[in-house]
């Protein structure tokens, strides 16, 4: 469950850090009762970025297919990825 804290609680930085690392999700900070900031551990941030990159890649592939792109065999796709990223077949 998401944690919501008032901005005045940011004074206790050690507790905020502990909270972010233990819960593995963002902590939402309010100011005068309104959303103001989001704080998270670097691990949580990295996880969110990886998910966003994967979602973007899937959406791009779907758009390419919708625009008439030609599908290729999985084996051929993996060989192409190996050549591109690892310079091997």
- State pLDDT tens for residues 21-54: 998 899 999 999 999 999 999 999 999 999 999 9
What's the structural domain count of the chain? 2
The tens digit of pLDDT for each residue in 2-28 reads 899 999 999 999 999 999 999 889 999
pLDDT at position 87, please? 80
Closest among 1, 6, 2, 3 to 34, alpha carbons compared: 6
CB-count exposure of residue 88 (10 Å: 0-12, 13-18, 19+): exposed
CA distance 5 to 16: 10
pLDDT at position 62, please? 94
Same domain, 67 and 79: yes
pLDDT at position 88, please? 59
pLDDT at position 2, please? 83
76 contacts 70 by C-beta, under 8 angstroms: no
Q: Which range marks the domain in which residue 35 is found?
A: 3-40
Read off φ and ψ for residue 60, nearest 5 degrees: -65, -45
Same domain, 49 and 33: no
């Amino acid at each position: 469950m998401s944690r919501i804290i008032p901005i005045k609680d940011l004074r206790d930085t050690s507790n905020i850090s502990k909270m972010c690392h233990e819960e593995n999700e963002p902590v939402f900070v309010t100011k005068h009762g309104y959303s103001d900031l989001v704080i998270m551990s670097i691990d949580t941030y990295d996880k969110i970025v990886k998910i966003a990159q994967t979602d973007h890649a899937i959406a791009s592939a779907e758009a390419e297919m919708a625009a008439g792109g030609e599908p290729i065999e999985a084996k051929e796709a993996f060989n192409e990825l190996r050549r591109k990223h690892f310079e091997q077949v």
